[in-house]
Amino acid sequence: MSKAVWLMVLALGSALAQVQYATWDGTRQKVDERLLKAFSEATGIQAVYNLVPWGTYWQKASAMVAGGTTFDVMWMNLDNFPFYASQKALSPIPLSQEARGLLPKGALDLYTVRGQVLGLPLGPQVVTVYINRKLFQERGVPIPKDTWTFEEMREAAKKLTFTRPDGKKVWGINAMDLQIDSEYGMAFYYSNGGTGILKRVGDRYEANLDEAFRDAAKRLLDLIYVDKVSPGPQESTLQGYQLFQAGQMGIYVLGSWMTEVWKTSPELDWAFAPLPVMKRGLEPVGVYSVHALVVPAASRNKEGAYRLAEWYTTSAQANRMVAGAGLMSTLADRYRSTYLQALPGRNGEAVFRQLPRMVVRHADVRNLSNLPEVLDALYSAMNLAWTGNLPLDKAIEKARTDMNALLRNSKPLW
């Protein structure tokens, strides 16, 4: 064998020994890179970080279906999981009994098909309310710690919306990010008594855009177009998180992963606030996303991939590192104190008080064959209302009509 051929064989063997890890979430890149380094040191298996922007991530993921070259461990979300599972593009993950006992059963069940575990759940990505305490104090607004109502939040947003002497506009809240069909908007919908936007009728499904849906949507829309406490579609060149970072927004609602973003603005005096109570007699019911690590069937290093996925989600070292960075680890409750110590004085307990009442949106219908298309129809219609191009009731009626037309052809994938 020539030296050149021998070097090629060595290079191929080295590449096969690596585990190629891919994610779309750049907000936690530093944490992920530290985790992969720790995994490599603990196991001797080299793990390589790959950040793929959301816009192209699912194009790359199509290789899972085509059976071509792909990454070894990939992030997956629940909206896309049924398609890849139904196409047999995911490899069953052989879990140890210890790992199976550690992982949260409800989240694990969402990625289990016919008894086969096809994804290991990552930490709950919780819909979270953040506040700028400096602005609250400046405007004389009481800082919510344990509870507040939607009306109290709305009144706070009014007081937090003003123009500074230098002409810089400060906004109350980021309602443009709270489109009712998004996970962030749906936190208000479920808290308003909502039970799910699809309902089963006999052997089929129908859109369930009821009064709880309409009422929550109207109250969120009013923040933009009636109360004018949130920038509308053309009123700011900055996104909501950028306005909050810059001290130009008092209340910001998005995901628990934003703590990594706030770290880049040490002058920002932020804290967690509770989800608001929507109606008397109802408790806030938040939403969390369950992302998971999957191993594509086309992975060239499945054994290394299985070890990385299990270590990343169940090992004490990985969970401690994630929680210590101020992010929700897979075993969130077990590492609560580590998380709170990483974010001292931020009212982090507000996040944990939400967890017992959290729901995963669309969890009960995740295996409908055309669920992504149904959700796209809902988004398209509601976006017309959020951008001011269609009255809310007409947008809801359009959504209902378009969704039901698609649901007539829905069937379970398993």
Q: CB-based contacts of 370: which residues, under 8 Å, 6+ apart? A: 406, 407, 409, 410
Q: Count how many Cα atoms sit within 13 Å of the Cα of residue 80 in the half-sphere of its side chain.
A: 18
Three-class secondary structure of residue 388 per DSSP: coil
Q: Give 222-280 as a DSSP string.
A: HHHHTS--S--TTS-SS-HHHHHHTT-EEEEEEEGGGHHHHTT-TT--EEEEPPPB-ST
How far is Cα 213 from Cα 361, in angstroms, rounded to an integer?
13
pTM (2 decimals)? 0.91
Would you place residue 242 in the very low, low, confident or very high pLDDT band (cuts 50, 70, 90)? very high
Over residues 248-300, the pLDDT tens digits come to 999 999 999 999 999 999 999 999 999 999 999 999 998 988 999 999 999 99
Judged by average pLDDT, the poorest of 34-43, 132-141, 296-305, 359-368 is: 359-368
Token reading at 229 = 């406490």
389: how many CB neighbours lie within 10 A of its CB? 10
Query: Do residues 180 and 217 lie in contact, with contact meaning Cβ atoms separated by under 8 Å?
Result: yes
Q: Which pLDDT score is estimated for 55?
A: 85
User: At 21, phi and psi to the nearest 5?
Assistant: -105, 135
- Mean pLDDT to the nearest integer, 125-142: 97
Over residues 37-90, the pLDDT tens digits come to 999 999 999 999 999 999 899 988 887 777 777 899 999 999 899 999 999 999
Which helix (H) or strand (E) segment holds residue 240: the answer is helix 240-245
How far is Cα 368 from Cα 381, in angstroms, rounded to an integer?
20
Average pLDDT value over all residues in the chain: 93
Query: Do residues 136 and 306 lie in contact, with contact meaning Cβ atoms separated by under 8 Å?
Result: no
Residue 197 pLDDT exceeds 70:
yes
- Mean pLDDT to the nearest integer, 344-363: 93
- Mean pLDDT to the nearest integer, 367-382: 95
